[in-house]
Chain A
Amino acid sequence: MKEMMHDSVKLRGFLKEMIIDTLKLEDVSAEDIDDDAPLFKEGLGLDSIDALELVVAIEKIFNVIIEDEDVGKEAFGSIRILARFLQKECSRLDKDTLSAAG
């Protein structure tokens, strides 16, 4: 996981698969999802209930908590934005863990 967090291309690919699996999107493959297309409404067409499912998946996989819709709207802007958001949050969590350790 740590390795992937430093490889944006891999991470973006992983996130696409995660979205497809979590939301059980039929007829959508990772290649169909543009890195910069909005995930909600006019892009991939996800809705606010889908966001609830994604928040749970992200917390399980990345240990990153998305508190509410304000943060969610920003983080779910696109695959590229979500990847950057997670990279930032994971590196912040790493720093917190390090400072807690010592």
Chain B
Amino acid sequence: MPPDEEMQWFEVEETVRFNEVDEWGMVWYGNYLAWFEIGRMALLKAFDLLPRQMVALGYVAPVVNVNCDYKQSARTGDRVVIRTTVYKPEIAALIFKFEILRKDSRELLAKGETKQVLLTTDNKMIYRLSGELEKRVAVLLANCKL
């Protein structure tokens, strides 16, 4: 796994909505995963790897593992920064890394990872990337390294 400082991170911003907080006024823990998804989609869009574009190439990429460490809580109205990057381990999978920061202070609120494997659209797991998918993933990965 490459160290964080050797990764190029992509950032998008969101505002915490009233319906995203729990009874204690803190963002409900599951909503951090929704923010991860916002970060992932922004990154994939930039490299022509959105889910529908993957399907057009004949693949889907289900998440098989997720983890998230919560450091501080965000509250209604807070502006947060979602930072995303991705790397490929030795196996045919993609691991996205995420950080959620409070925008004003750049304080780390949460960090996590998701692991996705690759299946063909007829549900066969692939063990190696090839063709157009391999090319697009290579460009994505190259842009996520400093």
Interface residues, chain A, with chain B CB atoms under 8 Å away? 48-49, 51-53, 55-56, 65-70, 72
Contact = CB atoms under 8 A, between A and B. Distances in A.
Interface of B: 64, 90-93, 117, 124-128
Contact of B128 (A48, A51, A67): A67
A72 B126 CA distance: 10
Nearest to B126: A68
Contacts, number: 34
A49 B124 CA distance: 12
Contacts of B128: 65, 67-68
A48 B124 CA distance: 10
Given A52-B117, A55-B91, A72 B127 contact: yes
A68 B127 contact: yes
A77 B97 CA distance: 35
Contacts of B64: 49
11 contacts: A48-B117, A48-B125, A52-B93, A52-B127, A53-B91, A56-B90, A65-B128, A67-B128, A68-B128, A69-B124, A69-B126
Given A55-B91, A56-B90, A56-B91, A49 B126 contact: no
Contacts of A69: 124-127
Contacts of B92: 52, 55
Contacts of A70: 124
A52 B90 CA distance: 9
Nearest to A71: B127
B125 A51 contact: yes
A66 B125 contact: no
A56 B124 CA distance: 17
A66 B124 contact: no
